[in-house]
Amino acid sequence: MKPSIVYPVLLSVLLTRGLCASFIKVNHGMKVMKGQSAFLSESDLQFSIPREKDACKVEVVVNEPITQRVGRLTPQVFDCHFLANEVQYTHNGCPILDEDEVMLRLYRFTETETFTETFLLRVKLIEPDCNIIQLGPKKLEVPEFYGLSDVIDKNILSFDYDKRINIECTIRISSSESFLPAHGQLVTGDPVKQEPRGDQPHSFFHGSNQKPGPLCKNGGCIQGLKRIQSVIKMSCEDFLVKGIRYQHLDPPSPNVDYISIRLDLTDSRSKSLYKSEHAWIPVLIRDAVPNQIPKANFMSMFILEVDQFVLTPISTATLDAEDSETAKHLLVFNITLPPSKGFITHLSDHTKPITSFTWKDLNEMLIAYQPPNSSHTERRNLEVEFEVHDFFFEKSPPITVHISIRTADTNAPRVSWNMGLDLLEGQSRPITWKQFQIVDNDNINAVRLVIVDGLQHGRITLRGGKGFIFTVKDIQAGDVCYHHDDSDTTKDFIVFRIFDGRHSIRHKFPINILPKDDSPPFLITNIVIELSEGQAVLIEGSMLCASDMDSSDAYIRFNITKPSVAGEIIKKPGQNLIAYPVTSFLQRDLYNGFIYYRHLGGEVFEDSFDVVLSDSHDPPNFSGPQAVIIHISPVDDQLPIEAPGTVRHLMVKENEVVYITKKQLHFIDPESPERELIYTVATPPCMVPTYSSLDAGKIVLVDTILKLGKDYAGDTARTFSQHAVNHLKVAYIPPAKDIGPTPLHVQFILSVSNQHGGTVQGICFNITILPIDNQPPEVFSYDLKVEEGGFSQITASNIHITDKDTRQEQIKVILHKAPLHGIVQLDGSALQEGDPFTCLDLITLKVRYLHDGSETLQDEISFIATDGINSSEFILKIQVSPINDEPPFIKENLISTIICKEGAEVVISADYISATDADSDDMKLIFMIARQPRYGILLKAGSIIDQFTQRDVVEGLVHYRHTSGEIGLKVYVDIITLVVSDAEADKPQKKCCNNGPRLPILPNHESFPVYDLNVTILPVDNQPPSVIIGEIFVVDEGKSSALSVDHLSAMDPDTESNNLEFILVSPPRYGYIENVLPSPGFEKSNMGISIAAFLLKDIKSLNINYVQSRHQRIEPTTDQFTLYVTDGKLRSVEKPFYIVINPTNDEVPEFLARNITVVEGQMKKLDPTVINVSDMDVPQNHLYFTVIEQPRHGLIIEESYISGHMNRSQLIKRHQANSLPVIQDFSMDLLKNGMKMIYMHDDSENLADSFTIQLSDGKHEVRRTIFVNVIAVNDEKPVLTKHCDLVLSMGEQTLISSAILSAEDMDTPRTNISYVIDRCPEHGQLQMKVNKNWVTLHTGMKCTQEDIDMNLVRYVHTGTMGSKNEDTFTFHLWDGGNRSPEISVHIYVKDMEKGDIAVFVKMLNVSKGERVIITTNVLLATDGTDRPEELLYVLSSPPQYGQIEYVKHPGIPITSFSQMDVAAHTICYVHDFNSAATTDMFRWGNKNQC
């Protein structure tokens, strides 16, 4: 049977593959609450296929985007006899649609055949009674384009659920999956508010300060916002306090956008999903328009050329659509009218028709048209109708695509039909002629098929045996069979090479395999269950989990074949329900947290139970036995005890590291090994009894230390085991610092625990640290200051001696080396080298130094400090203060001025300032600043100073920095007044430094030199200019206006204003900027030329104009352009310049005037379909109409006047008497307020009329002429307008042309006027040419005016010599309804003397189909009278393969012409193009008129 394909429009069932009855028993559809999910039940969908008879599968068709638009049905493939909670539809929360559809495909597999049925499952979406996700009371709204919404909080969204301890609420947002929001993004954070600048008038900014520009579509223009990732997951509480906002990004957009969220309630104990809900949060966008419908893209051709039998892809060049609010890849094309022959298909499975597809698949050329498998000899044309749906489900008007199927002219074999093969896993099916058809024009029996590729999961047999090559007859007979290998695969294919001996093609034959439930479940997770003795533990789905390739995982059953020994498996269906033992359970029980393992409390600590898995198939598939291991931790109540003989005390020298051994610390536990006895240091080592925070040493594990020593700086060990103590792995390190001369007592508190948690607290461990005298005295010497020739006491402030491990009274100082320029005295007696003194002598001021009065500036003494064991040598420095009596003076030839750029910093070197002193070190001379610089500061090492030394100058440490900011264009001079002193600055001296500076020389003079240092500050162009926006710039529409500094100016403190240049970043939208000055070297103004940059000086001179040029057919009221100003080096920030446009009457109103048609003598209303006006001007102008040219054959009056004069004839008479009130002018307001005008025809025979109306808006005038087409009424008699007598010679014939007789009828075309013969002529005949023969006209016969116009009527004289010389015939005119009176035509016959005629004839050469003029070179006759107009050629035998005609009357053959016609080149011969003859001829007779 030939396959039939029916597309779904309003039907819910599609039958394919030759089904004559439906397998669907019940299809009531299902009801689902919006945002939630529901399971499919047998009351919703049921099939009339017995469970035990045939295998039956249902597949969800996924390549139909017009279905499952707001939800998903899972799983994709399920059994016809599905379980109660197996098939589920989940709604995505969309509030727009109230109904959805799911396309399903039913497969019924018999032993030899596969039956397929495609149908639709209706899903009715209803509002839920109660939602977890509650919207309101406040709506989420965006106040403007590119704006921000309020924060999503409890006013926008709330969650209503039972907040139990074990329920976790999470929110998930996935923008990449839902494509929502479609025109914005989610952000967090608060926007940074920008202060308004002073150069921006507040009247320009009515909106938000953080409104981004029109080009800011990435959302990054508002500072302080952070974009949320495309996929986020957080708790419900965090979602409401995170500060999430909606940011609009993409105008134009609909006035509503959405945010898609999913709420999950999860059991925290079992991690099972308790409930899930979806919702779309609406976002209202103020000032946006509703969603617009998609439309066809008219760049496409909407024509598809297809070759016969060839599957042809459809591209966007054939069909395309667009939508301003929806991205193209989200558009869906729905086939509303499928092709009458063939079908549209998707290339993922080209054997099945589709009813819809996406633009993405269309763009990737995955949509194709499959022509029918019937051949034809002529081109066939089909039509397909589509409609396009956007993301928010608006649809376009119908779009028609024309398909033209070309005929094929080839002898190569071709595949005319390929519907693939459908079978169940493991089945065999023959490849029949219904599924695979081949055509060949010349010899179908010679066609062979060879398998060249494919067969990855099956094999082909031919008549039961192996085969790889076969004929078309084998397919028609069903001898070619495919056998599936029973693997878990869903797709296979065969590639054939088809050839007929001369031609060869390759073709792919698809095979669709439906899975069957023949595989047992298998474990994918089996984790050891751990619990304590006597407890019960929940078996979570993450601990024990199985999967099944062919059926639902939720219905996998765990059958306990070997129960546990030490416990039992129990099921607890609810929190307050009683648990009971079970021997089997489902995997969904594991998901729901119902299954526990309970230990019975015995002393067995390793347990297990065996399970065999089975699925929901009938009969079920069983797996092999699997063991689940259970580990029970024993519970121990005994505590560790201290071993006898343990002292818990340690003695250590301060410089040693000592191991803690079993003798000092040893606990035992008979039930726990030593490795499991763990010591925890509760209180680290501390000194007793003070418990101070000083370092008291640390406990360390030696395994973690590479080199064990007192200098170890690592962390203290907090825990260690008894095993580590036993193997000397735990050590005590004394404090790093010396403990002093007395022993130190240290203590730390610890606890010990076994592996079962038994703990002994408060174990005290004591440590005694013994001092060691191993440190030498530590001496700090400070310089002794003495005047030249004087003395000074050596005190403890000059020699400071400490020793951590020796008392102060035991330390002695020995004079090791005496001073060179003085002596050391003890109690007034001089000390010799080797003499000692004590620290007490220093304290009691018994030791002093006496200077010898020399000119030396320093001296030193060498001492040795000793504690009796260790000693230290040190030197005491002595600073001698000399006498200073010479003042310093400034050197000559110094540079008096320092050059410094604005804002820069320069070094004050010795070239600018330098002094000398005869009795002082020049490097130590001090320059004191008597007057600070006005425009800068003096720095040394980055700090401001008020004095400095000459050494600082030489070393380049003194800098001058200009700090007064911008100085403009002038040069500034700064002055620094310095006073030079030879007294050293009082600097703090470190007493630890023996080589410190000597004492300052005290000056002994009164005057100091003063010096002024000049600094010249040069200006620097380092300030960017700024744009100044002034008054509002106003221009009249269509005019221009000059920019002045009151509107636009700039400022730059360090640049001449004439050098400032404005640069346009974005030009005006409705005009341009011009500079009317001529270019350099030219005299012609540049007016009318758009510019992108101009100078400030041009604005000052009013040479810069804004020209409002774009105003035709638009009415702009504002314009703007963005610019910045630059000084050639720096530029300002970009600023918009706003322009206010005063509207003017510049638009010519559009006057629409359509022609009208009226019946003769009737009326026609002049309504808006005839006269209509639109004016683009804002505000609207007053429009006036004037009838400047009245109709000539009618009149224009008001309908209200007609209603009082219903007699049309009276109106016409009054019009002819000019007594009717004809409308001369009117206004548009009158038309809008109900004024009705009509045109009335005057009942004349004029079939055309016109009148002209002028429209004026006060400035422009538009004229339109309305032409009136009058439908004639046949009420006039035909009349003869031309009536001439005939004159001819005896025996002649003459044509009766329109020059002889011509008639007219006012209301009848000339072609319809007939001449009816009332009386025939007596001496001749009236003849009319019919085809090629002349037929005589008799009384009662007629001819038309058209026959006369075409020269088809003639009069032939038949009288003899002696007969009357005149004849006559009578006729009347008839137009089909009216006749004229009888009319007579007189014919006069004359005789003429005949002379001799000479004829000269030559061959006429004519090309095929050519038109050639007959000239006198070819045909010439003469009778010597020199009157060629009277010398006639009368054809007696016309040409057979052409005709003779006048040049000016092509297509009309003639039978006579004159020699004058030949001489005037008005006669031609036209050859018949279809004739194959090579020669032609015609005969004639010549005569001359008397």
- pLDDT score, position 991: 41
* Distance from the Cα of residue 1243 to its chain's centroid: 68
Distance CA 1222, CA 889 (A): 119
Which CA distances in Å does 774 have to 713, 739, 805, 869? 22, 11, 8, 8
Mean pLDDT by runs of 10 across the 1490 residues of the chain is: 32 36 86 92 88 82 92 89 88 93 89 86 91 88 89 90 83 87 89 61 44 54 79 89 89 88 84 86 90 87 86 90 89 94 88 92 92 82 93 91 84 83 86 87 85 89 86 88 88 89 85 81 88 85 83 85 90 83 88 87 84 85 89 75 89 88 87 84 83 78 78 82 90 84 86 84 89 84 85 87 81 89 88 88 87 83 87 89 73 87 88 82 86 90 88 90 84 88 55 45 66 88 87 89 91 84 92 89 85 90 90 83 90 91 80 87 84 76 85 84 62 67 80 82 83 87 89 82 86 87 85 91 91 90 91 87 80 89 87 64 88 88 74 89 89 89 90 86 79
Distance CA 824, CA 26 (A): 125
Instruction: Pick the closest to residue 394 from 314, 442, 323, 447 (CA basis).
Output: 323
Relative to beta strand 367-370, strand 343-346 is antiparallel
Please check whether residue 509 is in contact with residue 438, taking contact to mean a CB–CB distance below 8 angstroms: no
- pLDDT score, position 1217: 62
> In the structure encoding, which two tokens stand for residue 638, read together?
């005994």
Relative to beta strand 30-33, strand 114-126 is parallel
> In the structure encoding, which two tokens stand for residue 627, read together?
């063991």
How buried is 184 (Cβ within 10 angstroms: 0-12 exposed, 13-18 middle, 19+ buried)?
Answer: buried
Which residues, listed in sequence order, are joined to residue 1013 by a DSSP beta bridge? 976
Instruction: Pick the closest to residue 752 from 765, 743, 767 (CA basis).
Output: 765
- pLDDT score, position 260: 93
> In the structure encoding, which two tokens stand for residue 493, read together?
């294919």
CA-atom Rg of the chain in angstroms: 59
> In the structure encoding, which two tokens stand for residue 1013, read together?
């240092």
Dihedral of the alpha carbons of 1431, 1434, 1438, 1442, in degrees to the nearest 10: 40
φ, ψ of residue 980 to 5 degrees: the values are: -95, 125
Distance CA 64, CA 746 (A): 83
Beta strands in 518-556 (DSSP E): 522-526, 529-532, 536-538, 544-547
> In the structure encoding, which two tokens stand for residue 685, read together?
């080592």
- pLDDT score, position 267: 80
Instruction: Pick the closest to residue 897 from 1021, 1011, 1019, 1020 (CA basis).
Output: 1011
Instruction: Pick the closest to residue 1138 from 1109, 1117, 1118, 1115 (CA basis).
Output: 1118
Please check whether residue 30 is in contact with residue 126, taking contact to mean a CB–CB distance below 8 angstroms: no
- pLDDT score, position 218: 61
Q: How far apart are the first and last CA of the chain?
A: 88
Distance CA 1032, CA 1037 (A): 15
> In the structure encoding, which two tokens stand for residue 1117, read together?
């009221």
CB atoms within 10 A of CB 433: 15
- pLDDT score, position 993: 42
Q: Which amino acid is at 806?
A: T
CB atoms within 10 A of CB 165: 7
Relative to beta strand 1261-1271, strand 1248-1256 is antiparallel
- pLDDT score, position 1209: 65
| Cα angle 447, 448, 453; round to 5 | 140
Instruction: Pick the closest to residue 1248 from 1271, 1278, 1265, 1223 (CA basis).
Output: 1271
* Distance from the Cα of residue 56 to its chain's centroid: 44
Distance CA 257, CA 175 (A): 13
Secondary structure element (H or E) that encloses residue 953, with its range: helix 950-954
- pLDDT score, position 1219: 61
The owner of tokens 């002696």 is: 1362
φ, ψ of residue 1205 to 5 degrees: the values are: -135, 85
| Cα angle 1318, 1320, 1325; round to 5 | 145
> In the structure encoding, which two tokens stand for residue 909, read together?
């070197």
Q: What is the DSSP letter of 1453?
A: B
- pLDDT score, position 29: 92
Distance CA 444, CA 499 (A): 10
Distance CA 875, CA 783 (A): 10
> In the structure encoding, which two tokens stand for residue 1140, read together?
């206010």
